[in-house]
Structure 1
Amino acid sequence: MLGEREAWLGIDLGTQSVRVLAVTADGTVLGSGSAPVGGRREWERHEQDPGEWWEGVCAASRAALGPARGVRIRGLAVCGTSGTVLLTDRAGRPLSPALMYDDRRAAEQGARARAAGLAVQDTWALPKARWLVETYGPGRITHQPDVVTARLIGTPVPTDSSHALKTAYDVEREAWPDVMGLPREMLPEVVRPGTLLGEVCAEAAEATGIPAGTPVIAGMTDGCAAQIASGALRPGSWNSVLGTTLVLKGASAEPVRDPTGVVYNHRAPDGSWLPGGASSVGAGVLTAAFAGADPAAMDALAAAHEPAGAVAYPLVSPGERFPFLAPDATALVLGEPAGDADLWAALLQGVAFTERLCLDYLHHLGAPLDGPLTFTGGGARSPYWNQLRVDVLGRPAHVPEQTEPALGMAALAAHGTGAGPLPEIATHMVRITTHLEPHPTRTALFTEPYTRLIDELTARGWLPTPVAAHARARLRTTQDGAAHWDASG
């Protein structure tokens, strides 16, 4: 029986901040802390100073542990941004800046990797690792959380297979392939998420406030961490993370095969599969288009524009990764919005249309979609947007009380320290507070603009014709004209 005064730490290395939560087995957050992290963006480049991650962990951990005095910390796990990579020396000290998940400078290296038969995208870690080696010379390929876990333990650590996935690690064979284009001695050892890496050393304990001897468990990417925090770990269940961009993660007994690499499969600690993909569409477009606006006030105005007078594909940055691969894709708006409220509505609806197209694409690939759908991420804080999304999708969804990736890492830490199977732990830690049902009459309103967007994406050569045909075929019209979500196809 787990003690009432036991908790696990989840550490999330986010794009703008480090976040730490101390969480009990029943999902009670005993303490939380955050610390800002800077970065440098210039054209296709996006870098961070790895030293800031450790400084952020020290500050955020002390803040989280302050209210949790007297609580036994049973273990911790760390998640980072997927595809973020750097070079370190043998002692784990950084030799380069960290190239972030959306850094696009390694297009040439990406093309060479694909020519060698690897299904990778230019923003993945493998092309950027090649770029780093060609630019800075030899070094150890290191993923974002490895920098922090190495500091916590006091020695270099293996990486986890979740973060290694976009460095082309073969999660089915559980081995590095032979066509990497990188010397084998530069590649880290890889372990499954949930594996014990070591314990917090005395020096790290002094810096962070985390008790020495606390087990450090191999983590997963932030998207997988958010999926754990949503409880979407049973086959057929999916979590839609709407933050700056849109990420869909699901659970499946078998990997979802996609030769284009648009959908990829993480491996869960128990050996099952977590397929998903990451779009470049998301809530970041609202900040860019309406800096300083009050989202709640704009949502209230947008409710009068259903559907909006324009149809948008609201890319946050050039290039699309999911539900189709189009490096040259750009944001588009079809028609003229009738003012700011109409444009805001078009952007909200455009994200929802993309979300539906992602699910249509997953169905096209044969992914299981018959389980519950969960909404997490910053976008899930908007009640209006949540309801709009289920209306566009034509299917129910629910929203957990706590949606942070750090909660997912606390759950994984509990699993890694022997508290039980991860799905069961997540069931107890995750609290579902909001249930949403679609309104068929409103779903019908969005059928025409969704179809119009599909036609435009196909005409521009971005969306493959078979995928577009499948998406259209999934629009089933009932007698009252409502679009119907047919999970069985």
Structure 2
Amino acid sequence: MAWIGLDLGTQSVRAVLVGAAGEVLARAARPLTSHRDGVRHEQDPREWITTVEHVLAEVTQASGDSHRRVVQDGTIEGLAICSTSGTVVLTDRQGRPASAALMYDDARAADLLPRIVAADPERWAAAMQPTWALPKILWLDPADDQLVAHSADVVAADLAGHPVATDTSHALKTGYDLAGSWPAEAFGKLGLPVSTLPEVVLPGTVIGAVSKAKAELTGVPAGTPIVAGMTDGCAAQIAAGSLTPGAWNSVLGTTLVLKGVTKDLIHDPTGAVYSHRHPDGDGWLPGGASNTGAGALTSMLPGADLDALDRAAVEQARRTGPVDAAIYPLTKPGERFPFVAPDAVGFELGDVQDDLHRYLGVLQGVAFVERLAFEHLTRLGAESPRSVALTGGAVRSEHWNQLRADVLGVPVELPEAADPAYGMAVLAASGGTSVAETARRMVRISRLIEPRPSERLTDLYGGFVAELERRGYLR
């Protein structure tokens, strides 16, 4: 038995074929083209469809004895799809693309935000953001014969040959009430008919089956179940196995994103934290995305050999321990998590005498933001972390991994395959049973890093938080 996970990313489509014990049988990836113009960011959804056909054909035709047995025996049990959160497109009533896709970070509809908030202030005043899907849908202004779809919905509809339901995760930024319905009254005030919006189901629900026509193009057997997926951040959380209270996933790439689990929905009056429904339907996935992250390294150290700096950082730590420097490294103006401060700007504290100290200052500053985020979540009622699975491009730095464990004061785990496509294969494998239990069975941890106490890091963290307070960012 095996399952396929698909990830419709910003830069590429990725597919993975995963066996019952969590082993990766095949992988494939193909690039995507984006079109940017100021605050606008579009993709052609027809390119998603052709690219998905190619990557599916690659994973079903890969070599290897175990792979051949799976494909030839027709034992691909299902597939699930994730995509970027807040990306939307209009389709015709048959589910075929009828507009360009407005991507997750497209901000052309920002002027519509006050109108949306006025339609339901209690629901949207704190949470709604300019790049969420709902403002973009109003900007697209769907006609009576059109439907609203998210990226994953478009591809699932193409594979099935008919429109499909969406999932609670993709529907969140479209304004879906996670208690179980579209807010019809508020949408009525906005002139958005609920009839243009898809049915919403829990992730893991079967929403269609691969058609004969697509089976011929992709090699995925006709009739293979297509199950409702999740957004890419939630997919990565599944791949990390962080699906029970106290187990957290921290994704550190260009920016820092935290994801966890609570039994009860937590409310953040600042709007920094929002929650998805747990794929098992019995809890919530709170989290947030900071504007700090590893992306600051390339902008603050242009042309630097980051691998060489990381090797030097390991040696520096061995000789003297943490340096007396901390940098708040925003990748763009303003902050959104763990506090909301549109006017926030980056700053440097301590001794930043050369590139190595600047590199270490960024690493320590991001780790401090990460700790502050966990403290904010805990104050809101989330369970304190007992472990944190680290994913994202930054896990290549052994020094940073250890530093983050030291600053957080809890063990950190490095999963073997923590990409969103893998998470979707795990979701598909759940087959309507517990996703958390399926992840516990399939997700493999390659390393566990224990924290080391450090008074110097504790003191530096205190100074970092005090500076945020002095500047008025923390209230």
TM-score normalised by the chain length of structure 1: 0.87
1:431 corresponds to 2:431? no
Residue 69 of structure 2 aligns with which residue?
70
Quote the residue 1:482 is aligned against.
none
Superposed, 1:91-240 pairs within 5 Å as: 91-115=94-118, 116-117=120-121, 118=124, 119-133=127-141, 139-180=146-187, 181=190, 182-240=192-250
Compute the displacement of 1:113 (Å): 2.3
1:277 to 288, 296, 314: 288
* Range with greater deviation from structure 2 (77-86 or 171-180): 171-180
Alignment of 1:71-470 (within 5 A): 71=70, 72-115=75-118, 116-117=120-121, 118=124, 119-133=127-141, 139-180=146-187, 181=190, 182-271=192-281, 272-290=283-301, 293-303=304-314, 304=316, 307-308=322-323, 310-334=325-349, 337-415=352-430, 417-418=431-432, 420-441=433-454, 444-463=455-474, 465=475
Which stretch of the first structure deviates more once superposed, 272-281 or 144-153?
Answer: 272-281
Structure 1 residue identity aligned to 2:465: I
Paired positions, count: 454
- The letter for the 1-side match of 2:248 is W
Residue 390 of structure 1 deviates from its aligned partner by 0.9
- Which segment is superposed worse, 231-240 or 145-154? 231-240
Residues of 2 paired with 1:124 and 1:218: CA distance? 20
Identity fraction in percent: 53
State the alpha-carbon separation in 2 of the partners of residues 80 and 45 from structure 1: 18
SS in 1 for 2:339: coil
1:272-315, Cα deviation, whole Å (9 max, x unpaired)? 21111122222222233445644332212234276455432222
The DSSP-based 3-state class of the residue aligned with 1:440 is coil
Q: Which moved more, 1:230-239 or 1:297-306?
A: 297-306
Shift of the alpha carbon at 1:249?
0.8
Q: Given the superposition, is the C-alpha separation of residues 228 and 457 from structure 1 closer, same or farther in structure 2, using an over 3 Å criterion?
A: same
**CA drift at 1:111:** 2.9
Kindly provide the amino acid, as one letter, of the partner of residue 17 in structure 2: A
Q: Distance in 2 between matches of 1:260 and 1:178?
A: 25
Residue ranges of structure 1 left out of the alignment (5+ in a row): 1-5, 466-489
User: Structure 2 counterpart of 1:433, which letter?
Assistant: S
Which one-letter code corresponds to 2:68 in the other structure?
Answer: R
Report the equivalent of 1:473: none
Structure 1 residues 328-369: Cα deviation after superposition (integer angstroms, max 9, x where no partner): 434433467322222211222221111111101101111112
> In the superposition, relative to structure 1, how do residues 61 and 332 fare at CA in structure 2: closer, same or farther (>3 Å)?
farther
Q: Is the 8 A contact 2:112 2:135 kept in 1?
A: yes
- In structure 2, how many angstroms separate the alpha carbons of the residues matched to 1:189 and 1:283? 38
In structure 2, the CA distance between the partners of 1:91 and 1:292, relative to structure 1 (3 Å rule), is farther
Distance, in Å, in 1 between the alignment partners of 2:368 and 2:306 is: 20
Distance 1:331 1:429, change over 3 A: same
> Would the aligned equivalents of 1:308 and 1:337 in 2 still touch at CA under 8 Å?
no
Tell me the equivalent position of 1:13. 8
Paired with 2:269 and 2:184, the residues of 1 have a C-alpha distance of 16
Aligned to 2:30: 35
Question: Is the contact between residue 402 and residue 449 of structure 2 (CA under 8 Å) also seen in structure 1?
Answer: yes
- Counterpart residue identity of residue 286, structure 2: P
Does the CA-based 8 Å contact 2:387-2:410 persist in structure 1?
A: no
* Partners of 2:332 and 2:52 in 1: CA distance: 29
Q: Is the 8 A contact 1:133 1:139 kept in 2?
A: no
Contact kept in structure 1, 2:386 and 2:410, CA below 8 Å:
no
Tell me, in whole angstroms, the C-alpha distance in 2 between the residues paired with 1:85 and 1:369.
Answer: 35
Call closer, same or farther: CA 1:288–1:370 in 2, change over 3 Å: closer
Unaligned runs of 5+ in 2: none
Alpha-carbon shift at residue 43 of structure 1 (Å)? 3.2
Partner Cα distance (2:110, 2:351) in 1: 34
The change in CA–CA distance for 1:210 and 1:366 in structure 2 (over 3 A counts) is same
Shift of 1:319: 3.0
RMSD over aligned Cα atoms: 2.2
Residues 226 and 405 of structure 1 are in contact (CA less than 8 Å); yes or no, is this contact kept in structure 2?
yes
SS in 2 for 1:457: helix
Distance 1:56 1:91 in 2: 20
Three-state SS of the structure 2 residue aligned to 1:152 is: helix
